[in-house]
């Protein structure tokens, strides 16, 4: 059903030319609409930069200021539920400004990484390899559509659950607009601004996931090539050596691809790790003590969205670490015992490099893996435990 509206989520036949960079099609379109990439025609370069500057000022600076001013201006009118619903989004919004900045400023590095993918695609000659690339490209686009639907569901659900009760969903300050007398005008302005911020957040969350998904795609292809080394009888030692050398080049290209993305991913995930415990903790307090059924649904979806910002990516990083070990095992288990001295010396050098896993760190501090993710999530439960032990929620009801 979805493939009728989004054809790139369906695996393409081998008769069509598919590149690894095609996994970013939907993501690139959204990033282009925010001014994070480059215009298709140079004559629109100035207009495009002005549009990017306008959105950057609006979402990264003016929107957080608007939320803060509303806290100061109308703090006494907030109910506990309204305040928590607003503050959980507000904290995430500040983090989103930093995350989006890393992604926006890392555009050239992302483009450089895609050039490494183009070189890796040239090695996919067999139908089996091209089929794996097609499958991962479709999966990458499907990831974007899944997140888009998920984030849109939160936006719509949260907005409707509050507006039915004639309550502002996010409470923002707009000059010369009385949010009570002009309720619907201010509410529509809120949902437009929040929608822009949410879809910017979507780009920063999906970009690392698709990037490492395509890295794992080519790691899987390299594993297969390593298993097949020296498996074709009748070839000369020079041909076997060239085959091994090509695998060394593939591994180097994969490392270059990850290194190009490293600084972008490191900053983005670092901010998210700092946010996840606090944001989930506030959301759980709101859900357990202050939410009604309608507002609770929106809060639950928001919590799921926040969890999905790091969990799939961390899980993928763990899988890549395991793949690196499997690559080393595949090379060692290949038929190298009867090879000549040149082949064996190259193999020893390559085996040493393969034994160094491809790992990422968040801000150069936290290793990006499931263990770190779970540690950060535990902070949310600690926040809730403190609130329950001191009966803090009852004092605000």
* Of the ranges 5-19, 68-82, 163-177, 270-284, the best mean pLDDT one: 5-19
Q: What is the pLDDT of residue 39?
A: 84
Contact by Cβ (8 Å): 269, 313:
yes
For 57, which DSSP code?
A: I
H or E element, residue 311: helix 311-332
Nearest to 56 by CA among 10, 9, 97: 97
Tens digits of residue pLDDT in 196-208: 999 999 999 999 9
Q: What is the pLDDT of residue 81?
A: 65
Q: What is the pLDDT of residue 390?
A: 53
Q: What is the pLDDT of residue 54?
A: 92
For 289, which DSSP code?
A: I
Mean pLDDT lowest for which of 66-80, 210-224, 354-368? Answer: 66-80
For the cut 60, the answer to whether the pLDDT of residue 396 exceeds it is no
The tokens describing 169, both together, are 């969903």
The pTM is what? Answer: 0.90
Using a pLDDT cut of 90, give the percent of the chain over it: 41
Mean pLDDT lowest for which of 101-110, 205-214, 245-254, 270-279? Answer: 270-279
Tens digits of residue pLDDT in 256-270: 999 999 989 999 999
Q: What is the pLDDT of residue 51?
A: 92
Q: How confident is the prediction for the chain on average, in pLDDT?
A: 86
Q: What is the pLDDT of residue 172?
A: 81
Q: What is the pLDDT of residue 4?
A: 84
Q: How far is CA 138 from CA 7, 19, 145, in A?
A: 9, 11, 11
Q: What is the pLDDT of residue 93?
A: 82
Tens digits of residue pLDDT in 55-106: 989 888 888 888 888 777 776 766 666 677 777 777 888 888 888 889 988 9
Tens digits of residue pLDDT in 285-294: 877 777 677 7
Nearest to 314 by CA among 256, 281, 271, 361: 361
For the cut 60, the answer to whether the pLDDT of residue 393 exceeds it is no
Confidence tier at 387 by pLDDT (50, 70, 90): low
Tens digits of residue pLDDT in 308-345: 888 999 999 999 999 999 999 999 988 888 888 999 99
Identify the residue with better confidence: 53 or 377.
53
For the cut 80, the answer to whether the pLDDT of residue 159 exceeds it is yes
For the cut 70, the answer to whether the pLDDT of residue 49 exceeds it is yes
Nearest to 33 by CA among 14, 56, 52: 52
How far is Cα 194 from Cα 183, in angstroms, rounded to an integer? 16
What average pLDDT does range 161-169 have in this prediction? 80
Termini Cα distance of the chain: 46
Identify the residue with better confidence: 171 or 102.
102
For the cut 80, the answer to whether the pLDDT of residue 386 exceeds it is no
197-212 burial code (b ≥16 CB/10 A, e <16) = bbbbbbbbbbbbbbbb
What average pLDDT does range 205-221 have in this prediction? 95
Q: 314 in the Ramachandran plot: left (φ > 0), alpha (ψ -120 to 50) or beta?
A: alpha
Nearest to 110 by CA among 262, 228, 337: 262
For the cut 60, the answer to whether the pLDDT of residue 392 exceeds it is no
What average pLDDT does range 363-377 have in this prediction? 88
What average pLDDT does range 348-355 have in this prediction? 91
């Amino acid at each position: 059903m979805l493939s009728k509206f989004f054809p790139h989520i369906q695996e393409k036949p081998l008769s069509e030319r598919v590149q690894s960079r095609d996994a970013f099609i939907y993501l690139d379109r959204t990033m282009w609409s925010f001014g994070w990439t480059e215009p298709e025609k140079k004559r629109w370069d100035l207009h495009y930069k002005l549009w990017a500057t306008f959105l950057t000022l609006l979402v990264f600076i003016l929107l957080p200021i608007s939320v803060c001013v509303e806290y100061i201006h109308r703090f006494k009118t907030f109910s506990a539920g309204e305040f928590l619903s607003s503050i959980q989004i507000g904290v995430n919004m500040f983090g989103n400004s930093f995350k989006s900045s890393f992604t926006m400023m890392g555009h050239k590095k992302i483009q450089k990484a895609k050039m490494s993918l183009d070189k890796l695609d040239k090695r996919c000659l067999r139908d089996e390899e091209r089929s794996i690339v097609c499958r991962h490209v479709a999966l990458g686009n499907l990831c974007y559509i899944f997140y888009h639907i998920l984030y849109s569901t939160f936006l719509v659900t949260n907005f409707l659950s509050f507006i039915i009760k004639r309550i502002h969903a996010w409470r923002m300050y707009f000059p010369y607009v009385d949010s009570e007398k002009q309720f619907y005008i201010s509410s529509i302005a809120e949902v437009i601004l929040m929608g822009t911020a949410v879809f910017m957040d979507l780009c920063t969350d999906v970009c690392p996931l698709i990037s490492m998904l395509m890295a794992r795609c080519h790691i899987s292809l390299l594993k297969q090539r390593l298993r097949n080394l020296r498996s074709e009888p009748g070839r000369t030692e020079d041909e076997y050596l060239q085959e091994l050398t090509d695998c060394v080049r593939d591994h180097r290209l994969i490392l270059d691809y990850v290194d190009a993305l490293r600084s972008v991913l490191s900053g983005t995930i670092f901010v998210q790790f700092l946010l996840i415990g606090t944001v989930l903790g506030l959301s759980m307090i709101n859900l357990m003590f202050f939410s009604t059924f309608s507002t609770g649904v929106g809060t639950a979806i928001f919590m799921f969205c926040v969890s999905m910002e790091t969990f799939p990516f961390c899980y993928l990083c763990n899988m890549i670490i395991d793949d690196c070990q499997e690559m080393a095992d595949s090379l060692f288990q290949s038929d190298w015992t009867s090879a000549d001295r040149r082949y064996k010396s190259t193999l020893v050098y390559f085996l040493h490099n393969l034994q160094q896993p491809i790992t990422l760190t968040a801000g150069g501090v936290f290793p990006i893996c499931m263990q770190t993710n779970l540690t950060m999530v535990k902070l949310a439960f600690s926040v809730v435990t403190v609130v329950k032990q001191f009966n803090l929620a009852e004092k605000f009801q």
